[in-house]
Amino acid sequence: MKKIYIATFVVSAFFFTGCADEFLDVNQTESVSTDDIELYNNDAGASQFVTSIYNKFLNWDMTSFGWIGLSSIASDDADKGSSPGDTGTDKDVLDALTYNESNPSVESTFNANYDGINRCNQALNILPKLDKADANLRARLAGEAKFLRAFMYFTLVKCYGGVPIVDHLPVPGSDADRIMQLTRKTAAEVYAFIENDLNDAIAALPEKSAYGPNEKSRASKGAAYALLAKVNLYQKKWQKVVDNCDKVTGYSIVNDYATMFRPAGKFDSESIFEIYAHGTIPAKGIQGYSNTQGARGTGGWGWGFNTPSLSLVNAYEPNDVRKEATIIFKGTTLYDGRVIPTTVENDRYNYKAYSSAYTSAWETDVDIKYLRYAEVLLMKAEALNELEQTEDAIPLLNEIRKRANLGDTPAVSQADVRIAIWKERRVEMAFEHDRFFDLVRTGQAKAAFTVHGKTFIEGKHELFPIPAAFLKQAGKLSSQNPGYQP
């Protein structure tokens, strides 16, 4: 493939690695070749730059082993799993909350999201120059890039607190841009940047219904409103949560909870934003996502990590259909007829990561649903309850419970409804990469980990450490999060 040369500046090999995949081969130089501009100066060429951002979510370092460690194994929903002697590089210390600034998963997640942000900035830099591509398409593509950049910064601020804001392609040799890349901003500044990107995305993106059948994975106006509501939720901007949830229209919860996490449930009526693993082309699946979490041992097919904890099992009420749809129990038969023999090593596995078609392939066809309409209802319920509109919150909570085959919540008071909503989030969204961050933002973490015999240190474990390799490069421009200093 002919290279297209894009202006960029590489701080180090680990921080910004460029954007090279099967769609684009991007080299790091100071100039944009006129010939290459013309090569991509059309609708298809413009789209490829943004497609390369989505493709980043299929990568091992972005979505698989390290991210599973931070978002799930580190929470009370999951244990390390696998064999006792297999640490999974660092999954044992994540499970025990004994990680430090040199933790590989901490570093890979940090680097992967900045690699993705670099792709966003490359797209935003090149799109205005592709003047032969349709102007409306280019505007929409820029909106997609800003949504994806906001999504990545939201991951970063949840994990690390304040981080560097890299809002454009740095100029090679620019000291100001070097400082930009190495200087942590406050969490408040990062949230403000995310909100600005999402507001720009909202103005540019169409509704989900406007996309064609081959474009269902692309970000929509509804996705931007839903993500903005979630960003508001983390900042306790309760009225804004309600307002933005109300703008997420055209979606509904599906009748059968379990189908959402199977191939038949791709882009269903509940799906707002999901990472699309191209099931018909295994080479474009999510790298290692199913393998690492598949049943381990005789009769198994995977590595066995990220196993559901006993406390998660016990969190489900009797007759809650979500338990069997979320947890694979050994000795049972799955929806596709696969029998989980009693010879596998762990008692339980993550059903939402199960891939029927490609259980022994490295890249699998399972999607990850990052934003669902059920969460929009729960976010709105939580915000209404905090605004002392508890009577309006309860029906939203009950709508989720009804789908789960449960009766109405017995909670009536604001305090009891708050606890009921938090519990509902746990069982509704288990293994969807939210639990650790929900524990932190709601102040439940210390008590939850105490139940597991683990020590959650308040003032430290709310954030993961900034990677040591980045701080070494940053010098005095950035400092470590509290509690992780050598």
Question: 18-54 pLDDT, tens per residue?
Answer: 333 332 333 333 334 556 788 889 999 999 999 999 9
3-state secondary structure of 165: coil
- The rounded distance, in Å, linking the Cα atoms of 114 and 235 is 23
pLDDT in tens, 361-408: 788 889 999 999 999 999 999 999 999 999 999 999 999 999 999 999
HSE-CB at 287 with a 13 A cutoff on CA atoms is: 12
3-state secondary structure of 266: coil
- The rounded distance, in Å, linking the Cα atoms of 307 and 344 is 12
Q: pLDDT at residue 472 above 50?
A: yes
- Tell me, letter by letter, the H, E, C secondary structure of 84-129: CCCCCCCHHHHHHCCCCCCCHHHHHHHHHHHHHHHHHHHHHHHHHH
Q: pLDDT at residue 486 above 80?
A: no
Identify the CATH assignment for 1-205+461-486 out of 1.25.40.390, 1.10.1200.10, 3.30.70.260, 3.40.50.720.
1.25.40.390
Taking CA atoms, 72 is separated from 83, 194, 409, 433, in Å, by 18, 24, 27, 6
Q: What region, left, alpha or beta, does residue 237 occupy, with left being phi > 0 and alpha being psi -120 to 50 degrees?
A: beta
Quick one: average pLDDT of 145-171? 97
Quick one: average pLDDT of 149-159? 98
Taking CA atoms, 162 is separated from 158, 199, 434, 457, in Å, by 9, 21, 19, 19
> pTM of the entire structure?
0.94
Amino acid identity for residue 28 in this structure: Q
Quick one: average pLDDT of 59-76? 97
pLDDT in tens, 243-291: 999 999 999 999 999 999 998 999 999 999 999 988 665 557 899 999 9
Q: What is the pLDDT of residue 279?
A: 61
- The rounded distance, in Å, linking the Cα atoms of 156 and 186 is 12
CATH 1.25.40.390-classified regions of the chain = 1-205+461-486
Lowest mean pLDDT among 31-35, 151-155, 225-229: 31-35
Taking CA atoms, 140 is separated from 54, 136, 146, 168, 195, in Å, by 15, 6, 10, 18, 18
Q: What is the pLDDT of residue 14?
A: 30
Q: Which of 140, 145, 248, 149 is nearest to 204 (CA)?
A: 140
- DSSP assigned state of 25: B
Q: What is the pLDDT of residue 33?
A: 56
Do the bridges between strand 4-7 and strand 26-29 make them parallel or antiparallel, or are there none, so unpaired? parallel
Beta-bridge partners for 167? none
Band (pLDDT 50/70/90 cuts) for residue 485 is confident
Q: Which of 121, 147, 141 is nearest to 226 (CA)?
A: 147
pLDDT in tens, 421-448: 999 999 999 999 999 999 999 999 999 9
**Contact status, residue 122 vs residue 26, Cβ threshold 8 Å:** yes
> What percentage of the chain exceeds 90 in pLDDT?
86
Dihedral sign for Cα atoms in the order 19, 20, 23, 26: positive
Quick one: average pLDDT of 78-105? 97
| Interior/surface letters 136-155, b for 16+ CB within 10 angstroms, e for the rest | ebbebbbbbbbbbbbbbbbb
Quick one: average pLDDT of 99-126? 97
Q: What is the pLDDT of residue 2?
A: 36
The overall average pLDDT reported for the chain is 92
Q: Which of 313, 299, 298 is nearest to 348 (CA)?
A: 313
Q: What is the pLDDT of residue 7?
A: 32
pLDDT in tens, 74-84: 999 999 999 99
Q: What is the pLDDT of residue 22?
A: 30
pLDDT in tens, 177-207: 999 999 999 999 999 999 999 999 999 999 9
Quick one: average pLDDT of 450-461? 95
Q: Which of 24, 17, 197 is nearest to 107 (CA)?
A: 17
Amino acid identity for residue 335 in this structure: Y
Taking CA atoms, 364 is separated from 20, 60, 275, 284, in Å, by 21, 12, 12, 8
Q: pLDDT at residue 160 above 70?
A: yes
Q: pLDDT at residue 419 above 80?
A: yes
